[in-house]
């Protein structure tokens, strides 16, 4: 009988912190919506599955529907993180603030 034939070795590597080697998360990405008219927005330019961190007050995440209408999919002041797919065209960060630049942060799942 042969010993070791057909055995496969499994190597377990500890996960790295976000943005580092061996992590399934990219470095934290920040999108800034510059102060302007009410309803200022910035399209999320990354493609893939995103882990969107809790939103600050007056910042929402919107999806553009086939009709061209932008609809909130993650409302402002959200206290939980959300997973959502981005195609780099139809997902945006919208700010209702006219006095302060607002940020949204997320990680790309790799």
> Domain total for the chain?
1
Here the tokens at position 84 are: 């959502």
Q: Write down the pTM of the prediction.
A: 0.81
Would residue 89 count as lying in a domain?
yes
Cβ burial, residue 46 (10 Å; 0-12/13-18/19+): middle
CATH number, domain containing residue 66: 2.60.120
Would residue 33 count as lying in a domain?
yes
Q: What is the pLDDT, as a whole number, of residue 4?
A: 57
Q: What is the pLDDT, as a whole number, of residue 15?
A: 80
Would residue 22 count as lying in a domain?
no
Q: What is the pLDDT, as a whole number, of residue 67?
A: 95
User: What are 31-84's pLDDT values in tens digits?
Assistant: 998 876 666 899 999 999 999 999 888 899 999 999 999 999 999 998 999 999
Here the tokens at position 17 are: 């912190």
If you search the block for the tokens 């580092």, which residue do you land on? 20
Closest CA to 61 of 37, 82, 34: 82
- Higher pLDDT: 27 or 11? It is 27
Compute the distance between CA of residue 48 and CA of residue 27 in angstroms, rounded to an integer.
Answer: 14
User: What are 13-39's pLDDT values in tens digits?
Assistant: 788 889 888 888 999 999 998 876 666
CB 23 within 8 A of CB 102: no
Would residue 16 count as lying in a domain?
no
Would residue 37 count as lying in a domain?
yes
Would residue 66 count as lying in a domain?
yes
Would residue 3 count as lying in a domain?
no
Q: How many other CB atoms are found less than 10 A from the CB of residue 98?
A: 12
Domain span at 43: 29-108
Would residue 10 count as lying in a domain?
no
């Amino acid at each position: 009988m042969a010993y070791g034939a057909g055995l496969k070795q499994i190597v377990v590597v500890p996960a790295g912190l976000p943005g580092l080697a061996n992590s399934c998360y990219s470095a934290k990405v920040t999108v800034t919506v510059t102060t302007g008219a009410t309803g200022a927005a910035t399209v999320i330019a990354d493609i893939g599955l995103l882990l969107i961190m809790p939103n600050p007050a007056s910042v929402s995440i919107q999806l553009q529907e086939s009709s061209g209408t932008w609809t909130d999919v993650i409302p402002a002041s959200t206290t939980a993180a959300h997973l959502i797919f981005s195609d780099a065209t139809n997902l945006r960060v919208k700010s209702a603030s006219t006095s302060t630049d607002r940020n949204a942060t997320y990680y790309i799942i790799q």
